[in-house]
Amino acid sequence: SPSDPDLVERARKAKEKLGDKVFVLGHHYQRDEVIQFADVTGDSFKLARDAAARPEAEYIVFCGVHFMAESADILTSDDQKVVLPDLAAGCSMADMATAEQVAECWDVLTEAGIAEQVVPVSYMNSSADIKAFTGKHGGTICTSSNAKRALDWAFEQGEKVLFLPDQHLGRNTAVRDMGMSLEDCVVYNPHKPNGGLTADELRAAKMILWRGHCSVHGRFSLDSVKDVRERIPGVNVLVHPECKHEVVAAADYVGSTEYIIKALEAAPAGSKWAIGTELNLVRRLANRFAPEGKEIVFLDKTVCFCSTMNRIDLPHLVWALESLAEGNLVNRIEVDKETEAFAKLALERMLALP
Ligand code: 13P
Ligand code: SF4
């Protein structure tokens, strides 16, 4: 489908027919065939802000994953409809923390006598239910581009943070950016009684990390870093903070998707880069910067797409746009009112971070 001129033409026509009624958002991990139709592209933080910036658009077509579409619904007005072109575009990390598991965790913290000291900080990559839990308990949402500011804020509100669901972003931010030690962090395993932790361990911890991870970024290893340094002398290793701590510790630069793009824009001609993030983005950047003499390679030897991001392909986008153009609202993502109110509280705390 990438080069199917028929589909490209159909997407173009449907979009033209919809005009200002539709606003298409595209996450950086989306396929090229989809990205070409995005009105704006961005990382999850930028897209959360951009979604709210088009109040006149009746339809927001979100080319990304389910939790992003939910966040867009929460942040836009009630008469704006958010559409996810394929409902199977979820996120395995977001699925690692369910509302029941998180409620149970809060009970464990309460029994250990520390719940009042704990501020929840939830990564954007979580369901609306988890965001609502976070809002209800005085916490904030963060993304990979503002995790430090979110933690700074949280430690002004309380003594401990429950960080969910990505243990790696939580640990990397605490240790790299906040000067904490690995010993300040414990991992709460929702599949074990009491999270696999004693009350004493919970009381001693500053950061309680949920045992979740990204299956895409989790594939990069210390060996990937060593190999690329041997293969390409002088290479700069730049990775996303969803990577394991040992990978982040061995990298030269660490940052969110938008950070990675800015770093490459600012890189001098002749420089060499190995990037540890999703492959659609890395390939696009490699092609974009090759004419400027910047050599950009993927950090690992094996391919590493996000399979759920890739579910949004051109056929699904065409189907969604044509349906909307014919007046059929398909694949609407709608968060219920009560969940929305608390989730919005948490999201707005994030948007208000200094
Ligand atoms: P950012 O968009 O915040 O860089 O996060 C990456 C990611 O995994 C999105 O699912
Ligand atoms: Fe989820 Fe990882 Fe895919 Fe992002 S890259 S949507 S965190 S599985």
Could you report the per-residue pLDDT of 171-216, keeping only the tens digit for each?
999 999 999 999 999 999 999 999 999 999 999 999 999 999 999 9
Question: Which tops the pLDDT comparison, 154 or 50?
Answer: 154
Query: What's the pLDDT score for residue 303?
Result: 82
Nearest-angstrom CA–CA distance, 303 and 322: 32
pLDDT at residue 1 is higher than 50? no
Contact residues for 100 (Cβ-Cβ < 8 A; gap 6+): none
Q: How far is the CA of 82 from the centre of ligand 1 (A)?
A: 19
Name beta bridge partners: 120: 162
> What value does the mean pLDDT take over residues 50-65?
93
149 to 112, 152, 162, 349: CA distances (angstroms): 28, 5, 15, 11
Nearest-angstrom CA–CA distance, 257 and 243: 13
> Taking a C-beta distance cutoff of 8 angstroms, is the pair 174, 206 a contact?
yes
pLDDT at residue 88 is higher than 80? yes
> Which atom, in ligand 2's list, is nearest to the CA of 67?
6
> What value does the mean pLDDT take over residues 144-160?
97
**29, 308, 312: residue to mutate for ligand 2 pocket, most atoms within 8 A of CB:** 308
Domains in the chain (CATH in brackets) are 5-91+309-335 (3.40.50.10800), 94-213 (3.40.50.10800), 217-298 (3.40.50.10800)
> What value does the mean pLDDT take over residues 141-158?
97
Count other Cβ atoms within 10 Å, centred on residue 48.
22
pLDDT at residue 12 is higher than 70? yes
Asked casually if ipTM beats, i.e. exceeds, 0.90, the reply is yes
Rounded to 5 degrees, φ, ψ at 107 are -65, -40
Q: What percent of the chain has pLDDT over 90?
A: 95
Query: What's the pLDDT score for residue 2?
Result: 56
Nearest-CA neighbor of 171 among 239, 265, 241? 241
Query: What's the pLDDT score for residue 3?
Result: 61
Q: How far is the CA of 144 from the centre of ligand 1 (A)?
A: 7
> Which atom, in ligand 1's list, is nearest to the CA of 65?
10
Q: What would you report as the CA-atom Rg of the chain, rounded to the nearest whole angstrom?
A: 21
Query: What's the pLDDT score for residue 317?
Result: 98
pLDDT at residue 115 is higher than 50? yes
> What value does the mean pLDDT take over residues 132-148?
97
Provide the sign of the torsion angle of the four alpha carbons 332, 338, 342, 344, taken in this order. Answer: positive
The whole-chain average pLDDT of the chain stands at 96
Rounded to 5 degrees, φ, ψ at 119 are -110, 120
Interior/surface letters 146-155, b for 16+ CB within 10 angstroms, e for the rest: bbbbbbebbb
Q: What is the enclosing helix (H) or strand (E) of 348?
A: helix 337-351
Q: How far is the CA of 124 from the centre of ligand 1 (A)?
A: 8
SS3 334: coil
Show the ligand 2 pocket: residues with CB < 6 angstroms.
Answer: 65, 91-93, 125, 214-216, 278, 306, 308-309
Query: What's the pLDDT score for residue 45?
Result: 85
Nearest-CA neighbor of 181 among 256, 245, 225? 245
> What value does the mean pLDDT take over residues 32-36?
97
161 lines ligand 1 (CB under 6 A): no
Q: How confident is the model at residue 301 (pLDDT cuts 50, 70, 90)?
A: confident
Query: What's the pLDDT score for residue 48?
Result: 86
Q: How far is the CA of 256 from the centre of ligand 1 (A)?
A: 7
> Which atom, in ligand 1's list, is nearest to the CA of 45?
3
Nearest-angstrom CA–CA distance, 195 and 189: 4
